Amino acid sequence: DAKTTQPTSMDCAEGRAANLPCNHSTISGNEYVYWYRQIHSQGPQYIIHGLKNNETNEMASLIITEDRKSSTLILPHATLRDTAVYYCIVRVARQTGTYKYIFGTGTRLKVLA
């Protein structure tokens, strides 16, 4: 199964863009990249996902390299409320028709005032 590698922690100034990298060099062609975040010890919250193309929604942008071996989550204007642990996850299809979401240890993002 594909694994992900993320930096342990990052800081970002409030109002600036936060760029969170993720390596997933063993990802297969049909496996999606998902990003979640976890604020304090709440349940993880979905942010965005993608397969090949770059994606954007109201929360963030996801840039996936052409070889799909890495991606970057971009929070365009980070606020203090974006301080959280961000997980880059590869979604693997099972034979049962469900999906396995492989969580790593994530990146602890601290947004500084």
Binding residues (CB under 8 A) for another protein: these are 34, 41-46, 49, 87, 94, 96-101, 103-106
Strand partners, 23: 5, 70
The least CB distance from residue 75 to another protein, in Å, is 18
The least CB distance from residue 37 to another protein, in Å, is 11
- Calpha distance 86→107 (Å, rounded): 5
Identify which of residues 16 and 100 has a Cβ nearer to another protein in the complex: 100
Identify which of residues 29 and 97 has a Cβ nearer to another protein in the complex: 97
Which residues have a Cβ under 8 Å from the Cβ of 2 and sit 6 or more positions away?
24, 26, 27, 28, 31, 90, 92, 102
Identify which of residues 6 and 70 has a Cβ nearer to another protein in the complex: 6
